[in-house]
Amino acid sequence: MNFEQKREEFLARRREERMKWVDFWANFVRTHPDAEWSKQQKMIIDSQIQSARSFGMDPKIYLHIKGEAR
């Protein structure tokens, strides 16, 4: 099996995993009260914000490294 075939198989597995997660989450949202799943979303979003704040790199430098500086 060559690199391109391995890559395609990997990407196909990732797509399948993402779609399973989307289906799971959509079902969860439909079958649970808003207060329950929105509380969970808040925890995720708050942790992402906290992580971004503690990243320790100036946003301009980060964008420059990524090649997205304006």
Q: Is there a contact between 37 and 28 (Cβ–Cβ < 8 Å)?
A: yes
* Cα distances (Å, whole numbers) of residue 69 to 56, 57, 60, 65: 18, 14, 7, 8
Number of domains observed in the structure of the chain: 1
The pLDDT value recorded for residue 70 is 65
Among the listed residues 46, 27, 47, the one whose alpha carbon sits nearest the alpha carbon of residue 37: 27
Its domain, for residue 41, covers 3-66
The pLDDT value recorded for residue 68 is 83
Planar angle of CA 59, 60, 64, nearest 5 degrees: 115
Whole-model pTM? 0.53
Q: Per-10-residue mean pLDDT for the chain, 70 residues long? A: 91 96 93 91 93 86 82
**55 Cβ contact list (under 8 Å, min separation 6):** 62
Three-class SS of residue 55?
Answer: coil
